[in-house]
Structure 1
Amino acid sequence: MLSTLLIFAFFLPWCLSIPVVPKDVHDDLSFFQDYFHRFFYSEEETQYNSLEDQLRFLQHFFRLEETGWLDEPTMAFIRQPRCGVRDIADYSFFPGKPKIHKNRITYSIVSYPDNMSRKTVQKIVQKAAEVWSSVTPLKFRRVYRRNSDIEFAFASGYHGDPYPFDGKGEVLAHAFAPDPYYQGAVHFDSDEDWSDSEEGINLFLVAVHEIGHALGLGHSQDKNSIMFPNYKYQDPELFRLSDDDIEGIQMLYKVSTLGRSG
């Protein structure tokens, strides 16, 4: 919903008198700009791009109708719960295509959500890891030490990295690409209502997505991909990686490049 009033306010700056922008429209605009600068390009990078350019870019990326307007479908889409990792395109890799250079990967769980038992969380994380091992030579093993290849943690607000969580709502989790100099990490916002069902936020689905990041996959534009940035529930018992997910992870972890020793 972008009213005629907003069109005049933002796209006709030469008008002699500019009407006051209603608060709800102003709030939507502020939300969009914050979203765009967090997940796509910074204010500095977009200082010479118009609002319409930014809207068309976002709509093109998410395969929405490219109206160039802050319409209701666009606002509804960007208000959906999502991953906190910045967006790239199709199945994609992080710059430099980082990956874990061995096929035996250790992981640890250092903290848990208040509303789920530790045993349940442990089973879910193992099941999520096995999704990726089913289509690659990768094997995951849980360890009980801090120096594992991937560390899982639940935290709220500021938690030691540059990306504080926002409380219950928009950003559900984030993960860091593989790096040869520091431990991989997957962080879940502990303020969310985590579950093993369709109630609240299903931990399995988010864990599969974030493990994909920890292995080196970026976001995908394919809405059927688990690496699509927005959260969408599907039955974990029927879950399968999309062709896009499989193609991406298999391209990154070629059998010939992993070696035999792990």
Structure 2
Amino acid sequence: MAPKVSPLLLYAFLFLSLFFSQISSSPSAFDFINQLQGSKKGDRVKGLYNLKKYLKTFGYINDLSYNSSSWDADYFSDQLESAIRTYQTRRHLNSTGILDADTVRQMTKPRCGVADIINGRPGGPSEVVPNYRFYPGEPKWPNQKSQLTFGFAPGTPAKFFIPVYTALRDWHNVGHFSFQRTQYEHADLKFSLARGDHGDGVPFDGPGGNYAHAFSPTIGICHFDADENWVDHDPSPHSLDIRSVAIHEIGHLLGLDHSEVPGAVMWSEFEYGQKRRDLTPDDINGIRALYHF
């Protein structure tokens, strides 16, 4: 004889099943790319204009002078093929210029909002370095300023404090910087949460797209997307690890651009449920080369 199930327990089970199914299928800002898989030069596919905007955002397309209603908005042009080839090369994918499954899978991952290529260049004078990258012109903190202050904007959730402290300590352990907390208004490094278009020219796009960004020295501003599910402990498949993202964004604050090493802290993509908390030789070599120590 089957055991009786309480109606209350049954309703609770159904509610939780529905809740988790909605989480697992929640839309991402980059999901539109899935519908474009298989596209190639010469095709005309609805939605390619959004892909061009994606690639422009991250530096792979310099000029996108037309809008979504233009005749060539959804046309797979030579420009788009070249941009995809460059993206594939930087991601160690087969550089075909075709929007294949591996490329789509990589593009739809959540990522840092800082562009991979700035002003049409993948790095500054140190472009010959095969993996780590600097910003054009190699902006960095002055040599005499080895102690940097940091602060959190009023209202920043307390769960961000320890992970950011720890990430700062990790950079301290491999370099010549020390860090001291101070009031947000007077800090060299400013950490805060924001959502949507928050006035810095790098708008957030909700869950699953650009989850954070930071600016090169000596601007010192780091924003986390308030619409993401942030955790300070073991992340679930639906949450982002604060410490892992913080250590990446602090690298930008200190002057490192995105690395071309997939396992490096300064690699641009980062997935839900993932941890990437340990600085790799590429990250360490990059910061030491930038500051010559």
Asked if these proteins are the same fold (TM beyond 0.5), I'd say yes
How far apart, CA to CA, are the structure 1 residues paired with 2:220 and 2:200? 12
SS at match of 1:140: strand
- Structure 2: which amino acid aligns with 1:11? G
> How far apart are residue 210 of structure 1 and its match?
0.4
How far apart, CA to CA, are the structure 1 residues paired with 2:180 and 2:94? 44
- Structure 2: which amino acid aligns with 1:229? S
Among 220, 224, 235, the residue aligned to 1:198: 235
Query: Contact (CA 8 Å) 2:37, 2:104: kept in 1 or not?
Result: no
Among 11, 24, 36, the residue aligned to 2:42: 11
- Structure 1: which amino acid aligns with 2:95? E
> Is 1:247 matched with 2:285?
yes
Deviation string 1:86-105 (CA, Å, 9 cap, x unpaired) is 10453111111111121111
> How far apart are residue 2 of structure 1 and its match?
4.9
How far apart, CA to CA, are the structure 2 residues paired with 1:145 and 1:51? 42
Identity of aligned residues (%): 36
Query: Contact (CA 8 Å) 1:112, 1:121: kept in 2 or not?
Result: no
> How far apart are residue 77 of structure 1 and its match?
0.7
- Structure 1: which amino acid aligns with 2:147? R
Q: What residue ranges of structure 2 are gaps of 5+ in the alignment?
A: 1-35, 67-76, 123-130
Q: Runs in 1 of length 4+ with deviation above 3 angstroms? A: 45-50, 232-236
> How far apart are residue 235 of structure 1 and its match?
4.3
* 1:134–1:56 distance in 2 versus 1, CA, 3 Å: same
How far apart, CA to CA, are the structure 2 residues paired with 1:177 and 1:56? 27
SS at match of 1:32: helix
> How far apart are residue 79 of structure 1 and its match?
0.8
The total of aligned residue pairs comes to 230
Deviation string 1:115-147 (CA, Å, 9 cap, x unpaired) is xx51x3111110011111010011011112412
How far apart, CA to CA, are the structure 2 residues paired with 1:158 and 1:46? 21
SS at match of 2:174: coil
SS at match of 1:168: coil
Residue of structure 2 in register with 1:93 after alignment = 134
SS at match of 2:150: strand
- Structure 1: which amino acid aligns with 2:86? F
Q: Provide the aligned C-alpha RMSD in A.
A: 2.3
Deviation string 1:53-112 (CA, Å, 9 cap, x unpaired) is 222111011111112111111111111000000104531111111111211110000045
> How far apart are residue 43 of structure 1 and its match?
4.9
> Is 1:149 matched with 2:188?
yes
> How far apart are residue 221 of structure 1 and its match?
0.9
Residue of structure 1 in register with 2:46 after alignment = 26
> How far apart are residue 170 of structure 1 and its match?
0.6
Between Structure 1 and Structure 2, whose CA radius of gyration is higher? 2
> How far apart are residue 234 of structure 1 and its match?
4.5
1:73-92 equivalent positions in 2, closer than 5 A: 73-88=102-117, 89=122, 90-92=131-133
1:112-261 equivalent positions in 2, closer than 5 A: 112=155, 117-118=157-158, 120-179=159-218, 183-196=219-232, 197-199=234-236, 200-232=239-271, 234-235=274-275, 239-255=277-293
> How far apart are residue 46 of structure 1 and its match?
9.6
Deviation string 1:1-28 (CA, Å, 9 cap, x unpaired) is 755xx55xx428xxxxxxxx5xxx533x
Deviation string 1:167-209 (CA, Å, 9 cap, x unpaired) is 1121000101113xxx410001000000122220111001000
SS at match of 1:26: coil
* 1:186–1:127 distance in 2 versus 1, CA, 3 Å: same
Q: What residue ranges of structure 1 are gaps of 5+ in the alignment?
A: 13-20, 256-262
Residue of structure 2 in register with 1:103 after alignment = 146
* 1:167–1:234 distance in 2 versus 1, CA, 3 Å: closer
